Structures are given as structure tokens and as C-alpha cells.
Amino acid sequence: MASHISNVRPEPDRVLTDIADYVLGYQIKSDLAYAAARNCLIDTLGCGLEALEYPACLKLLGPIVHGTVVPNGAKVPGTQFQLDPVQAAFNIGAMIRWLDFNDTWLAAEWGHPSDNLGGILAVADWLSRTAVAAGRPPLTMRDVLTAMVKAHEIQGCIALENSFNKVGLDHVVLVKVATTAVVAQMLGLTRDEIINAVSLAWVDGQSLRTYRHAPNTGSRKSWAAGDATSRGVRLALIAKTGEMGYPSVLTAKTWGFYDVLFKGRPFEFQRRYGSYVMENVLFKISFPAEFHSQTGVEAAMILHGALKQAGKTTDDIEKITIRTHEACIRIIDKQGPLNNPADRDHCIQYMVAMPLIFGRLTAADYEDSVASDPRIDALRAKIVCVEDPAFTKDYHDPDKRSIANALTVQLKDGTTLSEVVVEYPIGHKRRRGDGIPLLEAKFRTNLARKFPVKQQGAILDVSLDQAKLEAMPVHEYVDLYVI
């Protein structure tokens, strides 16, 4: 006889309850986390402002129905759009991820936890404007920073031991889950409702990584996180209506996430939720490049100078060897034709060739007009990657979290330049002293792309002052970015 599956509704999966209890009850006491969150905020918004210079990004922004303006809706920084929180989350999320220049978290799964700012800022702005219109106090930017720390922690802690890319799923599933959880708390949902909301995020359809890999690499990777964070807002709003959840969404036999999408394996956890991820997050400061290549690009910049000093050019190069870590090889070691900017910014050979030839790597360098230079592909063909197991080990070491690359250049005359090794990128926690002044300079540059001098000054005055920023009402801060 066939055995029957019990129809007794189970208790919620532990993963769901841990997330709900964290967003509801955990008190963040780390000044380091709040300082990192402020730096993350300004860097992420600056990345969004730079993306507004690209028509491919601009065409996706605005309301779904042209001309729609939502009274007391969320405003999109750098634009005149005022939208419902779901569409505003998509707009902000697409902007900040477009150029692959916002923060990064590397572990068993990688990703960009600041992608959650799309949903967090949109909901906080909408709630604040609605509250003020009703005569109630608004949320403050400290509430935004708190939500950022918690979203980073949820996404990053799940990513530490659980690889979604190895089963073909995109890391934006974690953006959707984290946004859903923190937004649900901001909306005032009860513990049971937050559990329901998070279950809806896990039971939802999940994105494949198809758009990140050859031969299909394409621009969806630039708006996938905007889609995920906006979906998180939508699911939290659905749960707010009292819509039911699915308590064993992960563990249910046959039909749960583990069995359907994770090869039957339950999630593993290295640590409890706290503020570890925000404190250790990686900032992309110098180069708009996939993070596994950051140290490689930095090494290439050093070698560009060495070539000039030796009176050589890239035409004199016979071969370049990149000693690297396994994740770099798996994600961005790419030969053959590169079809679009999204293809190029996920190819370490391209990202190393650019600074070796030109002494730079900017977002514009991925465009067709630059990529058509025949020297780039000629040099790419001479670059090979080899794994160094020690680099891979240090990449996964929680006390190091290095992202090492080492470049060796062999010349046609038989000489070899000294190998250049860079273990930690400028945006790493171990290089914060060097990195934060450059991060602030990057923010100033991005503000100048969009705003007149007086408006830049008003934004900088509050953004670079921790106490002043935390005390400011959310809608007043967002209004500073309206052009």
C-alpha cells in the first residue's frame, strides 16, 4: 500500500523562524556596523547616479504606466520619478547594480548585499511621506541603516556555507529573501506574518544564472537584483494583508526548496545572525569590475607602470599567467568573443588587458566603442588562469577572506617581469584606512555627475556626518537627491 503524507500543518522551518526573530528582536550595538552601513549607503547611491548616464539603464526606469505619479510615493534618487514602493524598489535596485560597482560579499555564494537598498529605501521613503501626511513622525535614516545591516546579515550568513550557483540558481534569491524580511519588519508585520512573508520568498520562482554565463551573458544581470528586491517588497505587502504562508517551504519532502532546487541538502550555517557581514563587506572602490578580478586589475595597473619603466608595451608581451582562486576561474575565466558590456565585465582577461594597455578601467571601457580596439582581444588571447589552492583556501578562511590574484608577464625577448601579488583589494576590511577616503572621493565624483555644486554640498554635509545622517528623516534625505 502507498504511504500517505500527513496533512498536519507543521511548525515553521527553523530557517524561517531564525530570520523572523532576528529582524524583530536583534539589537545592533556595533558602531562599526553603523559606520560601514553609512559608507555603504553613500557608495551605493553614488553607483546609481553614475548608472543614470547610461541609456540602457535609463530605459528601464520610471512607472510601469508612463506619467503615473503616486502621491506620497517613494522618490527615485537622481530623477523626478515618484512611484509606488514596488516599482521604486525596482528602479533604485536596477540603478545601483547596473555598473557592477556596488559592494560585494564572497563566500560559498557571492552577491551584493547593498542590492537590498532598493527595497529598503523605497519602503522607508514611502512610509515616511505617508506618516508625515497623516501627522505621524517619519522614519529616520538610522532605521534605514539598521535595515541595511540586517539585510546584509541575512543574505551574507546564508551565503557563507550554501552555494546556490552550484545548483544553477542566481544569488538574487538571497536579495529577495533578505528584502522581504527587513521590509516586513518595517511594515509592522507580526512574527507569524514575517514568517509567512519569508516563506513566500522561498516558494517563489527563482532566477537561473543563465544570464551571467557564456554563451548567454546579458544585461539582465544588471537588473536582476532590482527585480528581486522589488519582489521582496511585493511579497511583504501581500503577507501584510494576512495572506497565509508555507511553514515547511524548505523541508517538505518532494515539494520543498531543498528537494526541488538544492539537491536534497539542507542549508548549513557558520554563525548566528549579528552584524558580521556589514562589518566585513567588500567595497568596490577603484574599478567597476566583477569582484574576483579586483586584485588582478590592481596588479595589472602596477604592471602597466613596470612596462613603461622598462620601455615596453603590451605588443612586447608573449604570455601572462594569472595565479588565482577557484571561484575566479569558475566565474570569469573566459575565452572567445565577448558580445556586450555585460559579457566583458565578467571576463578577467578583458579586465586585466584594459589597464595593461591603457592604464585604466572605467565603466565606459566595457562599451563597444572601446572594446573594438584590436589590441584588447590580441592581449586577451595571451592570458591564462591557473588555480593556486592556497589562494582558494584563504578565500574561504573567515579570518582572511582574501581575494588574491598574482600576475606574471613574460616578454617576447625572453625576460619575465617580477610577479605582482595582491591578496586584499582596496575595498577589503583589512585596507579600510586606505579605502574609505577613496570611497568618499568616488561619492563626490558621482554627485558631481548629476547635481549643481550647492546641492552636492547639502548632500555631503549630512552624508559624511554619522550622527547628522542617522537623525535625519528619510524623506528629507531622499529629497536632497531630487533633480
End-to-end Cα separation, the chain, in angstroms = 70
CA distances for 174 relative to 28, 178, 202, 454, angstroms: 21, 6, 9, 38
CA dist 333 and 329 (Å) reads 5
Preceding amide of 215 cis, omega within 30:
yes
pLDDT for residue 145? 98
DSSP secondary structure, 75-137, as one string = E-TTS--EE-HHHHHHHHHHHHHTTS-S-BB-SSS-B-GGGGHHHHHHHHHHHHHHHHHTT-P
For residues 214 and 152, the answer to whether their CB atoms sit within 8 Å is no
What does the DSSP 8-state code read for residue 275? Answer: S
**Beta-strand pair 405-411/383-387:** unpaired
CA dist 349 and 385 (Å) reads 9
Paired with 420 in beta bridges are 407
For residues 462 and 468, the answer to whether their CB atoms sit within 8 Å is yes
CA dist 454 and 456 (Å) reads 5
Count the helix, strand and coil residues of the chain and give each as a percent rounded to the nearest 5: 55, 5, 35
Contacts of residue 170, Cβ cutoff 8 Å, sequence gap at least 6: 164, 206, 207, 208, 209, 211, 212, 224
* Rounded (5°) CA angle 203-152-268: 60
Nearest to 431 by CA among 402, 405, 466: 402
Q: How many residues does the chain have?
A: 483
CA distances for 107 relative to 10, 112, 269, 405, angstroms: 32, 11, 12, 16
**Beta-strand pair 74-75/82-83:** antiparallel
pLDDT for residue 351? 97
Q: Around Cβ 86, how many Cβ atoms within 10 Å? A: 22
Nearest to 460 by CA among 38, 14, 2: 38
pLDDT for residue 3? 62
Core vs surface per residue 340-372: b (16+ CB within 10 A) or e: ebbbbbbbbbbbbbbbbbbeebebebbeeeebe
**pLDDT, averaged in runs of 10, over the chain (483 residues):** 75 98 98 98 98 97 96 97 98 96 91 98 98 98 98 98 96 98 98 98 96 92 98 98 98 97 97 97 90 95 96 97 96 93 94 97 95 97 98 91 96 96 93 93 97 98 98 98 95
Which triple of cell numbers denotes residue 282?
A: 567588500
pLDDT for residue 184? 98
